[in-house]
Amino acid sequence: MKQLSHLSSEQLWNWLIQAHQEAKKGELPHYIPLLKQVNPSLLTLCLITKDYYTLNQGDSHITFPLMSIIKPFLLLYLLSKLGEELLFRKVGSVPSNYPFNSLEQLRLDQGFPRNPMINSGALTLASLLPGKDGDTKCQNLQQWLNQQGKSELFLDELMLESVQSLPNPRNQAILDELTRKNHIKNPEITLDTYNKICCLSGTIIDLAKLGLLLVNSQNIEQNYVSIVTKIMTACGLYEASKNLTTKIKFPSKSGVSGAILSIVPEQGAIACYSPPLDAQGNSVASLYMIEKIANYLNT
């Protein structure tokens, strides 16, 4: 495999210009007002290698909420705190053919969340975070990530207000089902925690640095890293995971804000952000960029 650090900034820039065109095919999400109002032509990318060689391009100063990209890091944190056995009593590791917020999938599975990359799984894991309320639970995760990843994630309060301004009947129904099945205990705190951790925000460089936790972290057990990256490969890009993984080949996770993080095993991470999404909810331009880089590395 070629080296991530050998990619030239000219090459990246050319792909970025094409990705900019591709972004026009996507749409902004409707259910979070602030995400609907964002400038659709924002585009940025950051490559980082395990020895911290960094190359970033585009609107790298802007911040965005991680949304679902927090899910693999929630899993990593809880694996480190609770261990594998306890954690996988609460959530599975099997891909889902349904959208990330599907109640149907949860019902078919008798209330046992299929994997931690979909909302039922992430809500369940959010309930396991240490802390007495949503604030403390979110802060504990935030502090750990910032310490381990040398990142500067912060809670975007305006985004949180926006998330809370409209009811989210799907997440509510998932929560009701999890509570009915006794899978979680305190639905209000759980939802508050989940919304907060989804609004942890940072720049593309922060996201790339977090990616390094899944490459060569000295303080995190390698076995936990492998568990997380395997689940990302199988489930990270929603129901499109299977198709897309054959193209991209790297463990990846996307979020509804338009970011995608891909891990290049043993080398580093690629973080990309462009708000317009395809029908499955994956950022069109981010996918385009990551596919181009993956092709380059794999040939």
274 lines the binding site for ligand GLN (CB under 6 A): no
Q: Which residue's CB is nearer to ligand GLN, number 12 or number 91? A: 91
Q: Which one, 56 or 162, has the nearer CB to ligand GLN?
A: 162
In the complex, minimum distance from the CB of residue 243 to ligand GLN, in angstroms, rounded to a whole number: 17
Q: Does 149 bind ligand GLN (CB under 6 A)?
A: no
Cα distances (angstroms) measured from residue 197 to each of 86, 139, 228: 22, 9, 18
Q: How far is the CB of 221 from ligand GLN (least distance, A)?
A: 27
- Find the shortest distance in angstroms from Cβ 147 to ligand GLN: 24
Residues 68 to 127 in contact with ligand GLN, rule: CB under 6 A: 68, 100-101, 119
Largest CA distance in the chain: 55
Q: Which of residues 242-261 bind ligand GLN (CB under 6 A)?
A: 255-256
Q: What does the radius of gyration of the chain's CA atoms come to, in whole angstroms? A: 18
The H or E element spanning position 266 is: none
Interacting residues of 23 by C-beta distance below 8 A, sequence separation 6+: 40, 41, 43, 274, 275, 276, 283, 284, 285
CB closer to ligand GLN, 171 vs 262 = 171
Give least dist CB 195 to ligand GLN, A: 7
Where does the chain have alpha helices with state H?
Answer: 9-22, 33-36, 70-82, 84-87, 103-108, 119-128, 134-149, 157-165, 169-180, 187-198, 204-216, 222-235, 241-248, 284-298
Nearest distance in Å: CB 37, ligand GLN: 16
Site for ligand GLN in 199-238 (CB under 6 A): none
- The minimum distance between CB 115 and ligand GLN, in angstroms, equals 13
**Choice between 175 and 225, CB closer to ligand GLN:** 175
Structure tokens at 85: 């056995």
Q: CB neighbours of 266 closer than 8 A, spacing ≥ 6?
A: 50, 215, 216
262 binds ligand GLN (CB under 6 A): no
Q: Which residues bind ligand GLN (CB under 6 A)?
A: 67-68, 100-101, 119, 171, 198, 255-256, 281
